[in-house]
């Protein structure tokens, strides 16, 4: 089964309107080379309207880096699904390790966010669920146990039909922003585990779920990672702030189709 390659830019708390125009222009220029890859940009939420204007006619999707699980109310500083959706987001990242570690995204909240996103109407949003082990957990041989626990908690109430709106990003915490990429075999092993786990829980529905690798992916490391059977694309932090590098990574994902 051929899944469409997918590359998601996670700008984190970086970027501005100038970089929005620059990256949008670079994507437009290369559009013909990116016919078979889905590109999603997750800027800081306040930049979503600028991005929405820039890519209105283009085949670029937008995403939010996070959203609150409640519909509205007294949640100072938070954004609802309705708001990010109105601002153009089709995707929402959930459970990024920085949110798990620094901003109180517990397993319970992550499960609530996944549920809220998948039942959000009328717009259908997609969840990008991030999972990953810490360096010490890998050293202890617990990688698979940690990933399984994160998947089981986050997807506890997700049906096979809803799984069609889920993307999973494997991001080893020790590789995020550190320059230490997992090697293609390490990444493939975990991706194969995730694919098998999904298959056990969801049977045929598991085949369509894009599995992304994230953690210091650069233009030079992307081709070998994306050549692996179960790596359908990437979640890109630092390199998504450099239009040339990001475009090279998108082309490497596109190469999965040729
Ligand atoms: P990085 O970030 O590419 O800068 O390591 C990836 C991520 O955190 O999504």
pLDDT digits over 187-226, tens only? 999 999 999 999 999 999 999 999 999 999 999 999 999 9
Cβ–ligand 1 distance for 231 under 6 Å, the answer no
Instruction: Give pLDDT, residue 123.
Output: 74
- State in Å: Cα 10 to ligand 1 middle: 7
| Separation of alpha carbons 152 and 149, rounded Å | 5
The model carries a pTM of 0.97
- Cβ neighbours, 10 Å, residue 57: 7
Angle of helix 143-154 versus helix 184-202 axis, rounded to 10: 40
Q: Which residues are catalytic?
A: 96, 171
- State in Å: Cα 74 to ligand 1 middle: 31
Nearest to 49 by CA among 16, 88, 18: 88
What's the burial of 4, exposed, middle or buried (CB within 10 Å: 0-12/13-18/19+)?
middle
Can you give the pLDDT of all 258 residues of the chain as single tens digits? 679 999 999 999 999 999 999 999 999 999 988 899 999 999 999 999 999 999 988 889 999 999 999 999 999 999 999 999 999 999 999 999 999 999 999 999 999 999 999 998 777 899 999 999 999 999 999 999 999 999 999 999 999 999 999 999 999 999 999 988 899 999 999 999 999 999 999 999 999 999 999 999 999 999 999 999 999 999 999 999 999 999 999 999 999 876
- State in Å: Cα 80 to ligand 1 middle: 24
DSSP 3: P
Cβ–ligand 1 distance for 176 under 6 Å, the answer yes
Atom of ligand 1 nearest to the CA of 176: 5
Q: Is residue 123 a contact partner of residue 77, using CB atoms and an 8 Å limit?
A: no
Cβ–ligand 1 distance for 214 under 6 Å, the answer yes
Return the biggest CA–CA distance within the chain.
Answer: 50
Handedness of CA 216, 222, 225, 228 (dihedral sign): positive
Cβ–ligand 1 distance for 171 under 6 Å, the answer yes
Indicate the SS3 state at residue 126.
strand
- Tell me the best of 12, 129, 240 to mutate to test the pocket of ligand 1, counting ligand atoms within 8 Å of each CB and taking the most: 12
Nearest to 39 by CA among 16, 81, 5, 87: 5
Q: Compute the CA torsion angle 137, 196, 217, 167 (nearest 10 deg).
A: -110
Cβ–ligand 1 distance for 131 under 6 Å, the answer no
Instruction: Give pLDDT, residue 138.
Output: 96
Q: Is residue 169 a contact partner of residue 237, using CB atoms and an 8 Å limit?
A: no
- State in Å: Cα 9 to ligand 1 middle: 9
Cβ–ligand 1 distance for 238 under 6 Å, the answer yes
- State in Å: Cα 177 to ligand 1 middle: 5
Cβ–ligand 1 distance for 173 under 6 Å, the answer no
Instruction: Give pLDDT, residue 227.
Output: 96
Atom of ligand 1 nearest to the CA of 93: 9
Atom of ligand 1 nearest to the CA of 177: 5
Across 11-132, the runs of DSSP E, i.e. the strands, are 38-42, 60-64, 89-94, 126-131
Q: Which residue's CA is the closest to the ligand 1 atom numbered 9?
A: 237
Element (H, E) at 223: helix 222-226
């Amino acid at each position: 089964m051929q899944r469409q390659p997918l590359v998601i830019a996670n700008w984190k708390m970086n970027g501005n309107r100038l970089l929005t125009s620059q990256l949008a222009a670079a994507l437009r220029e290369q559009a013909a080379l990116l016919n078979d890859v889905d590109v999603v940009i997750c800027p800081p939420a306040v930049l979503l309207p600028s991005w929405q204007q820039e890519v209105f006619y283009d085949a670029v999707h937008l995403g939010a880096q996070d959203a609150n699980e409640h519909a509205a109310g007294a949640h100072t500083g938070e954004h609802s699904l309705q708001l990010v959706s109105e601002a153009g987001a089709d995707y929402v990242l959930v459970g990024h390790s920085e949110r798990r570690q620094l901003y109180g995204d517990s397993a319970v909240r992550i499960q609530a966010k996944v549920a809220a996103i998948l039942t959000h109407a009328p717009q259908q949003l997609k969840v990008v669920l991030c999972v990953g082990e810490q360096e010490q957990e890998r050293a202890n041989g617990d990688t698979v146990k940690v990933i399984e626990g994160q998947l089981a908690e986050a997807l506890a109430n997700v049906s096979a039909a809803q799984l069609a709106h889920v993307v999973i990003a494997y991001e080893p915490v020790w590789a995020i922003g550190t320059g230490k990429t997992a090697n293609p075999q390490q990444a493939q092993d975990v991706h194969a585990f995730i694919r098998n786990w999904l298959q056990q829980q969801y049977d045929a529905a598991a085949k369509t779920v894009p599995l992304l690798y994230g953690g210091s992916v650069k233009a030079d490391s992307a081709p070998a990672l994306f050549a692996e059977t179960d790596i359908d694309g990437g979640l890109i932090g630092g390199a998504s702030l450099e239009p040339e590098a990001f475009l090279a990574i998108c082309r490497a994902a596109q190469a999965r189709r040729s």
